[in-house]
Amino acid sequence: MSILSCKKENNQIIEKQFDDIYTLIKEESIYNEHVNWTSIYLNVKDSIKAFNSLNDKYIAIEYVLSQLPDQHAFFLHPNDSIRFLSTKNKEIPKVHYKIIDKTIGYIKINGFAANDSLSKIYSSNIRKALLEIDQTSDLDGWILDVRNNQGGKVGTFALGISPLYSDSIIGYSKTNKLEYKPHKISKNSYHFGSAIINSISQKSTLSNSKAKIAILVNKKTASLAEFLALTLKSQKNTRIFGQKTTGFTTDLMTYQFVSGAEFGFSTSYMCDRDKKEQITGLIPDVTCSDGEEVNFAIKWIKNAI
């Protein structure tokens, strides 16, 4: 086989890979009825006459994603410094927690996007913080701080604080086919639809599970952090404090190439337990200025407001 024919065959493989990904995005995106797919495909083929390299494939995929009204979608090239799925040099955030005024448990949950194994560790660390605080008897309430948390892997945050949920089904995801996939907590496992996507080995009961819950959010609270607040919003004795959140309340399908390139796009809307969407962001129960969220939460827990 000649070098020329080998190169042609390789180009065909790369182009076929793009075609498969194009079809995947077209079929699964929640915005698939918002764009002209024929026009997008023809524009790619007109601008890239031959897929001579992986970079041609990446440019084509990035273009397709850019045509969607999907603010949550992303494409990262192999040399981009920002990484979404890679675990190289990725540190698991510390879970900062403390007792406020002797009767309020405070936990700061930071954003963390990583693979299954690292996400599992972070869920476990959140649970450990919850259990440590719970050793303080007769808490008046909990403060869960997800300000500046821009998300992570589905189930990571919710599984960590799962003993605070009053119901096993905590929310839903609505696909472009109008199917509702339940998000369910079962002891120490997180179910998305029929699949278990995260599990930990920790104590799953609390002495103070009935105490008030205050969730702190701001304009940089996004994605799975928004969903965490949304799943708790409808519970009794729960209030959200802060500013309106980002509005990235969609589930992402993510993919990583061997080269390190990554991309993701929205495949479903996150909904509360009543199957209601919050597309433009979550509006707090109590709106307060930046820096005042903790004070307002304490006053509410102490019945001062």
Per-residue model confidence as pLDDT tens digits over 174-204: 999 999 999 999 889 999 999 999 999 998 8
Contact indicator for 29, 70 with CB cutoff of 8 Å: yes
Give residue 93's region: left, alpha or beta (phi > 0; psi -120 to 50): beta
3-state class of 100 per DSSP? Answer: strand
Per-residue model confidence as pLDDT tens digits over 53-86: 999 999 999 999 999 999 999 999 998 866 665 5
Contact indicator for 142, 208 with CB cutoff of 8 Å: yes
What DSSP letter does each residue of 251-292 carry, written as one string? EEEEEE-TTS-EEEEEEEEEE-TT--B-TT-PPPSEE--TT-
Contact indicator for 286, 294 with CB cutoff of 8 Å: no
Per-residue model confidence as pLDDT tens digits over 242-260: 999 999 999 999 999 999 8
The pLDDT, as a whole number, for residue 151 is 94
The pLDDT, as a whole number, for residue 234 is 84
Contact indicator for 181, 192 with CB cutoff of 8 Å: yes
Give the predicted TM-score (pTM) of the model. Answer: 0.90
Alpha-carbon distances of 154 from 114, 148, 172, rounded to whole Å: 10, 17, 12
Per-residue model confidence as pLDDT tens digits over 141-182: 999 999 999 999 999 999 999 999 999 999 999 999 999 999
The pLDDT, as a whole number, for residue 8 is 53
| Amino acid in the structure at residue 285 | D
Q: How many CB atoms are closer than 10 A to CB 78?
A: 13
Instruction: Give the position of tokens 């970079």.
Output: 55
The pLDDT, as a whole number, for residue 304 is 65
Six-digit token string for 72: 């949550």
Lowest mean pLDDT among 33-42, 52-61, 86-95, 145-154: 86-95
CB burial of residue 178 (10 Å; 0-12, 13-18, 19+): exposed
The number of residues in the chain equals 305
Question: What percentage of the chain reaches a pLDDT higher than 70?
Answer: 93
Q: What average pLDDT does the segment 103-111 reach?
A: 97
Is 96-248+266-301 a CATH 3.30.465.10 domain?
A: no
| Amino acid in the structure at residue 167 | D
